[in-house]
Amino acid sequence: MEFGQRDGRVAPRQIDALLPKEMAKRAERVGAEKAGQDSLSLLVLGILAGAFVAFGATFAAAVTAGAGTTSTPGLVKLAGGMTFSLAYVLAIVGGAELFTTNNLMVMAWAHGRLTTARLLRAWSIVFVGNLVGTVSTATLLILAGQHARMEGSVGAGLLGTAAQIDGLGLFDGFVLGVLGNTLLCLGVWLTYSARTTADRIMALVLPVAAFYVLEFEHAIAVMFYLPCAVLIDVMAQPDFWTLIDRQPADVTVSSFLRVLVSVTAGNVVGGGMLVALVYWFVYLRPGRL
């Protein structure tokens, strides 16, 4: 509680943002409400969120296009991270559903407001929706020629990121997934303190930018970058490859599944355990309410 002066009197004034204990109650309530949605709504909202990640990733590739030889690579990555945050602003403020941030539903599950079956049902439907959204939007973006913009440097950036992700081993993918979704879910956790749209956007941008700059991983990005590389390989004109002077990506179904499974497992640990369970234990465990 803060105090201000009005008409010569000291009057109490409420702190505008919610404090962590109230944030935990909101996160638990929101998680239960999200899981209670009908299957079709969850699927459509998952598709939307997948599309938003595709937009954010392509936006970041366009902003950082052709900057590979710069003397300030950190600033270039920061610009990419700030623009990639578009994906999470659209998804979180717009109410779409991402599998990765839905790992925060573990708070409602741990508190007994959500059964294991309903938790896994919601995660599964949203996961499929995210995959449909990323792949279908990637297809539209490549059909629209976005990969060929700026003399092919946008496509080169997307292919470079895809090659980096495709080269991850099981352990690397898992650890980067843990770290990545810890940051992303912390960003969403901060939005539970917000009372305005501006608050929510400001809370999201830095954690999402840090995720991008530090090159951590999350499953929905894997769902976009690797299929996008395959689509570029299939659809790009010969002059595109001449412009960028590189070979097509070598993404296979087995490599896609290897990376997706390891990163997804890491995301569940990072978001579900290191964020959701920790905050549940601190603020919502029996005897703390």
The answer on pLDDT for 35 being more than 50 is yes
What's the whole-number mean pLDDT along residues 5-29?
A: 74
* The pLDDT of residue 287: 75
User: Which of these, 34, 15, 2, lies nearest to 188 by C-alpha position?
Assistant: 34
Tell me the average pLDDT of the chain: 91
- pLDDT tens-digit profile of 162-185? 999 999 999 999 999 999 999 999
Give the span between the Cα atoms of 219 and 166, in whole angstroms. 12
Q: What share of the chain has pLDDT > 70, as a percent? A: 93
The answer on pLDDT for 130 being more than 90 is yes
* pTM, entire model: 0.91
Give the span between the Cα atoms of 176 and 180, in whole angstroms. 6
- pLDDT tens-digit profile of 58-114? 999 999 987 766 668 889 999 999 999 999 999 999 999 999 999 999 999 999 999
* The pLDDT of residue 245: 79
- pLDDT tens-digit profile of 210-220? 999 999 999 99
**b or e along 57-72 (b: 16 or more beta carbons within 10 Å of the residue's beta carbon)?**
bbbbbbbbbebeeeee
The answer on pLDDT for 11 being more than 80 is no
Q: What are phi and psi of 167, to 5 degrees?
A: -85, 0
Give the span between the Cα atoms of 88 and 53, in whole angstroms. 7
Q: In the structure encoding, which two tokens stand for residue 282, read together? A: 């601190």
User: Which of these, 265, 256, 98, 61, lies nearest to 176 by C-alpha position?
Assistant: 265
Q: Considering only CA atoms, give the Rg of the chain.
A: 20
